[in-house]
Amino acid sequence: MSKYVKNLLTEDLHNRLQGVDDALLVNVVGLTANANNRLRGELEAKNIHLLVVKNSLARRAAAGSPLAAMFEGVDGTAAICWGGEDIVSLAKEITRLAEASGYEAFQTRGGVMDGEKLTASQVAAVSKWPSRHEQLSLLVGQILGPGATLAAQIIGPGGALGSQIKQKAEGEGASENEAGSP
């Protein structure tokens, strides 16, 4: 491959990865063509991109970016996965697919999160974290919990007082009805 072509490929890869801060490295060697096509379809449905790259080109394209740490010490063929809602949802989906039947050759090799290199075992650990959506629902629950408790404490005594007044009024009304009848 000529230097000109390498530079064109490096520039294209650099442009594709522009703005990507978190990504995972996976192994797709050994997948059949049909399994590879199904895998790519499942990833595309979750807005996850998969790109098989030559390591030397990927290193050159990622130099100076947060993804540079991901390619340190990587040899052999690698594929980059990025996208999804966040790094946790990406890790969950990649880990799920790596464990799924039909994709036995698909393996997680590592990745990068916030500029820090991840090993395959760390990616598995990240996949067990709550996703962004789950974290937001936990946060909303924690915010609304004290408010609901406060509202119950404010409404509770008023409701009890109202109930006592109602019982007293019904009690006086019942005794007047009893006293008025012969």
> What residue spans define the domains of the chain?
3-129, 131-182
pLDDT value at residue 76: 77
| Pairing label, strands 48-53, 78-83 | antiparallel
pLDDT value at residue 180: 53
Q: Which two tokens stand for residue 139?
A: 């946060």
Q: What is the assigned CATH class of domain 3-129?
A: alpha beta
pLDDT value at residue 47: 93
27: β partners:
107
pLDDT value at residue 178: 54
Q: Which two tokens stand for residue 70?
A: 């991901």
Tell me the CB-side half-sphere exposure of residue 136, using CA atoms within 13 A: 5
pTM above 0.85, yes or no: no
Number of H helices, E strands in the chain: 6, 5
pLDDT value at residue 136: 86
Residues of the chain with pLDDT under 50: none
pLDDT value at residue 177: 55
50: β partners:
81
Chain CA centroid to CA 155, Å:
39
Question: Which residues fall within 8 angstroms of residue 111, CB to CB, at 6 or more apart?
Answer: 22, 23, 24, 25, 70, 81, 87, 91, 117, 118, 123
Cα torsion angle, 160, 162, 167, 168, sign = positive
Q: Name which of 75, 78, 99 is nearest 23 in CA terms.
A: 78
